[in-house]
Structures are given as structure tokens and as C-alpha cells.
Amino acid sequence: MKIAVYSAKSYDIEFLDHENKTYGYELDYYEVPLNRKTARLAAGADAVCAFVNDKLNADTLHALAGLKIGMIALRCAGFNNVDIETASELGIRVMRVPAYSPHAVAEHAVALILTLSRKTHKAYNRVRDANFSLERFVGFDLEKKTVGVVGTGKIGQVFAGIMMGFGCNVLAYDPYPDSSLREKGVRYASIEDVFRTSDIVSLHCPLTPETHQLVNKETLGIMKKGAMLINTSRGKLINTEDVIAALRNKHLGYLGIDVYAEEEKLFFRDLSEHIIDDEKIMQLSTFPNVLITAHQAFLTKEALTEIAHTTMENISVYSKGESSKNEVTREMIA
Ligand code: NAD
């Protein structure tokens, strides 16, 4: 089996190569993302391995089908970047890594909250500059704050548990509430109530047509003045312009994001010597109450080990023609 691995970074190569010792596949690494133009690099391969910002739209899928690629091994849980309908029509099997480390992402959401609330990123720079002043560093306790969790799947559940450990009241919205979370003390409410009453709202739902720009002028308008919004899920859950407006008029108190609606053209690369042609992210990065990380919530040793393992297992299952619970099909989406 030969696999063309796209969007391959040093950490992908390290963990996939290590796992591949057990499988012995031929892995061809490409740093470029997978799209219609780069699909041709997969000529001669049996499968492609892709990540969150690879563009698996109908054009790319047709190009891959022309090269007789039979499988897409996603190194991620989300599959919103794959046209599953077209993949099914072309007979290309799509498999993902449904769970690797929900702790990695949930803990990163907590890191964003604590950094924003206690301003540790600014303290680090001040102390290095021998500025030991505490002016403008007043933070807030998490204890007794109401934390709203939108989406209580694997990551949302871990996040809710951590926040309860801080002594927060956890309020949640999910179309499919989880009874075990209720037993632990999480209160389910309508999405409006979650936005209206939370001091911190954290998004943990997938990007679907229904959740696209879930955070917009209206939902931001009902949030508490000075509240914090955290997004480690997908950038397009947020209408960026509306969030900028809410920050500018000081209604939204803090924003912590690991994902950004237009991240495809920015994230996972070093653009430090380039002029960034994205006014919105440049504006956001100037706000003192905004913290942006570049889609790194998944980046722990534990998560990368699990991603590499499940990806190799998925490829193995495909090579044997077996079925898999990790397969994404149009029936599953329906
Ligand atoms: P999951 O499938 O276990 O849980 C998603 C939950 O969202 C489910 O309980 C589902 O019922 C709920 N949901 C669906 N529609 C909803 C809606 N309209 N409103 C509220 N909830 C809704 O997924 P997960 O493993 O917990 O991952 C959640 C998301 O985190 C993924 O979809 C992905 O976008 C994101 N993610 C980000 C990173 C990162 O590195 N930043 C890494 C992994 C996953």
C-alpha cells in the first residue's frame, strides 16, 4: 500500500513513521495541502491521508478518482472539509479518527480561559522585561461562574468535568443531552439560555449547516456584557465580523479562539515574513482581550499517538476490504 500524506508537518511524520513500523506501508509525505491542483501528487498511490484544512471538494475528489485513489484517511475527527456525497458516488471510502484525545482539546479550551482571565501571556512578557508592575492585571475567579457548553459530545463532556472541578456551574446545550452529565450536575438548557446566562461560553459542537455562524449578531447580543467566548471547534461556527463588532463596542469581554473561519490560508504555516492579507485576523490580534492559537488544541503526544494509530488501522481495514466504524458515509450523515 502506498499512501500520499498531505499537509504533513514534522510532528505528523514523526508519529506516523513510528506507528508505520508495525504496518510497513509506503508513506509519501507532502507538506502542501490537498486540493484540486495538488491531487496529482498522489499518482501511483492507493490512498491519501489528509487533515482538517485539506480541500476535499468535488473537484479534488474527481481528480483523486481519476488517479484510482480508493480511500481517504482523515487524520482528524471533523469531516466538514470532505464532500461525502461525491466521495460515495465515486466509490472513495472516507475514514476518520473519531476520538483521539478529547482531553487535549478540552484542556486547551481551559488554557485559553485561564490565560485570558489571568493574563499570564502578558505577565510572561512583562517579567522578562523587568516590569514587575501588576497594573491592569486584575483577573477573575472561575469558582461560581456559569460556564455554557455548546455541544456535549466527547470533548464537551471532558470540558464540562474540568470546569465543574473549578467550582463552576455548568449549563449545556446539545440536541442530544447526555444523562450521565446530568447526573454529574450539568444542567441542560435552550441554546438561548446558555448564551444569555453564561459568563463563559465554550463551543464544542461540529460545523454543520445548522451550526454555521451559530455565534452572530443576535446570539452575541443576548450574551452577558463582559462575557468570554471560547472556540476550539471550527472557525465557521462564528461570524467573525459580528464578533469584532461585539468586541469593539465592549459587549463581548474576551475572545479565545483556536480556530478561525478563514484559517485555511493562514494556519499551520510560518508567515512571519509575509504581509498578511486578512484584515479580520490582523484586527483581532490587536485587541488586548483576544487570544488566538493556530489550531493547536489537538497537539499533544497522546493525541498524535492515537491519531497515527487509528489512521494506520483505518488504512489496514481498507486494504483488507473490511468494514469500519470509523467510516464516514452519506447514510451516516443522513
Ligand atoms: P462529538 O461528535 O463527540 O460531539 C459533538 C456534539 O455536538 C454531539 O454531542 C452533538 O450532539 C452535538 N451537536 C450537534 N449539533 C449541535 C448543535 N446544533 N448545537 C449543539 N450541539 C450540537 O465531537 P467531539 O469529539 O466532542 O468534537 C467536537 C468538535 O471539536 C469537532 O466537531 C471538531 O470540529 C472540534 N475539534 C477541534 C480540534 C482542535 O484541534 N481545535 C480537535 C478535535 C476536534
End-to-end CA distance of the chain, in Å?
31
What does pTM read for this prediction?
Answer: 0.93
Backbone phi, then psi, for 71, in 5-degree steps? -150, 145
For residue 80, how many C-alpha atoms fall within 13 Å in the half-sphere facing its CB?
18
243 lines ligand 1 (CB under 6 A): no
Give me the pLDDT at residue 78, please: 87
- pLDDT at 332 (0 to 100): 84
Catalytic site includes residue 295: yes
CATH class of 102-292: alpha beta
Domains of the chain, by residue range, sit at: 2-100+301-329, 102-292
Placement of cell 493525541 in the chain? 303
Fold of 2-100+301-329: Rossmann fold (3.40.50)
Q: How far is the CA of 205 from the centre of ligand 1 (A)?
A: 3
Of 234, 262, 269, 279, the active-site residue reads 234
Residues of the chain with pLDDT under 70: none
For the chain, the residue count is: 334
Helix (H, G, I), strand (E, B), or coil: what is residue 202? strand
**pLDDT digit string, tens, across residues 9-53:** 999 999 999 999 999 999 999 999 999 999 999 999 999 999 998
Q: Which three cell numbers stand for residue 2?
A: 502506498
Selected catalytic residue, list 263, 264, 279, 309? 263
CA 57 to chain centre: 19
